[in-house]
Amino acid sequence: MLDPRLCRSFLAVAETRSFTAAARRLGVGQPTVSQHVRRLEDEAGGQLFARDTHTVELTARGQAMLGFAQTIVDTEERAARHFRGTQVRGRVRFGVSEDFALGELPEILRRLRRSHPLVDVELHVELSDVLAQRLAEGRLDLVLGKRRTGAPGPGRRLRREPLVWIGSAATTLVPGQPVPLVQYPMPSVTRRLAVETLERAGLDWRAACLTSSLTGLRAAAAAGLGVTVHARSLVPPDLTELPASLGLPDPGEVDFILLSRDPAEGPVAALAEFVTDRLGDGVARL
C-alpha cells in the first residue's frame, strides 16, 4: 500500500503544477513535498513528473498514478471518519463570487462530497459585495469572494492575488481613444479597480459592454468588444492576459476572502476547511 502522505503531496503537485504551491496548500516546506514525490517515484519505478525551470507536467506514469493516489487518500479519510464515529451532515448556504464558479469551485465541492457525503449545499453565485451583504443579513452561512487590498471588513484573507488586464486575439486598443471596458454592474470590486486604475493614469475609458454574468463577460471580451480586469489565477481559458506593450496601467492586487457565520463545527466549518485548503496561503484571520 502506498503511503497516504506521499499520495497527498503527489496529488497537490498534480493539481497545482507547482511544488511551491503544493507545499503552501499542505502547510509544509517545499523540500518535504519534493522528498515525498521522490519516494513515491521510487515506489512507482519511474518519474511521475517531467520538470524544468518553468513547468511541471505529469508523465504517463504520473497520469496512471492519479487514480490510485486519489483512491488511497479517499480510503484513509473514510476510515478516519468511521473510527471517529462522526458523520458531518446538514445544509450549508454557500455564496461564491462568479469568478471562482468555473475555476476552483468544482474541486472544492468534489472534496466536500468525497469527505462529507451527507452535507447538502445551497449554492448562490453573485458579486462579492452582494454576497457579503446577504451573509450579514443571515441569508448565507459562508461566502467566498474578493475584496480590494487594505479594505476593512470581517473574515479571513485567503491570499493576495495580482490583477491583470485580459482580452483575446481580437482585442485592439486605438492610441488616443478611450479604453473600451467590459464590466460587471455595480457593486463590483474589479470594475471599481479597473476604472480607478485608468483614471489615476489619466486615461479615458468607455463602457463598451455591461454584463451581469461571467459568461457574458467572456463572450464580450472574446469578441474583442473591450478589456477587463481579472485575478490572474482565475483568467478563463478562452481569454488571455494582455501584454504590457498595450500601455494599460498595472491594476494592482485583490484579496481572496472567506466570510463565515463562524461555527466551531458542522457543515459550514467542514466546507470552510476545504475552501481554505484549496485557496489559502496561511495568512491569518483579518
Neighbours of 194 (CB within 10 A): 26
Q: Is residue 5's pLDDT more than 50? A: yes
Question: Hey, how many other C-beta atoms are within 10 angstroms of the C-beta on 164?
Answer: 19
Q: Is 173 left (phi over 0), alpha (psi -120 to 50) or beta?
A: beta
Rounded to whole angstroms, how far apart are CA atoms 159 and 268? 20
d(CA 184, CA 209): 9
Q: Where are the domains of the chain?
A: 4-84, 88-286
Rounded Cα distance, 90 and 95, in Å: 16
C-alpha cell at 117: 457525503
Residues 6+ apart with CB under 8 A from 225: 180, 182, 208, 209
Q: What is the pLDDT of residues 139-180, one digit of tens each?
A: 999 999 999 887 777 788 888 889 999 998 888 898 889 999
For residue 164, what are the CA distances in angstroms to 109, 181, 244, 252?
Answer: 27, 13, 10, 8
Contact 20, 6 (CB under 8 A): no
Average pLDDT across the chain, whole number: 86
CATH number of 4-84: 1.10.10.10
The end-to-end CA distance of the chain, in Å, is 42
pLDDT above 70: residue 82: no
Residue 217 one-letter amino acid: L
Strand partners, 49: 58
CATH: 2.40.160.40, 2.40.50.100, 3.40.190.290, 3.60.9.10. Which one for 88-286? 3.40.190.290
Q: Is residue 80 packed enough to be buried (19+ CB in 10 Å), middle (13-18) or exposed (0-12)?
A: exposed
Give mean pLDDT, residues 280-284: 53
- CATH topology of 4-84 equal to that of 88-286? no
pLDDT tens across 197-222, in order?
999 999 999 999 998 888 888 899 99
pLDDT at 101: 82
86 confidence band (pLDDT: 50, 70, 90): low
Residue 39 — pLDDT band, cuts 50, 70, 90?
very high
Residue 121 contacts residue 94 (beta carbons within 8 Å): yes
Q: What is the pLDDT of residue 285?
A: 39
Confidence of residue 252 (pLDDT cuts 50, 70, 90): very high
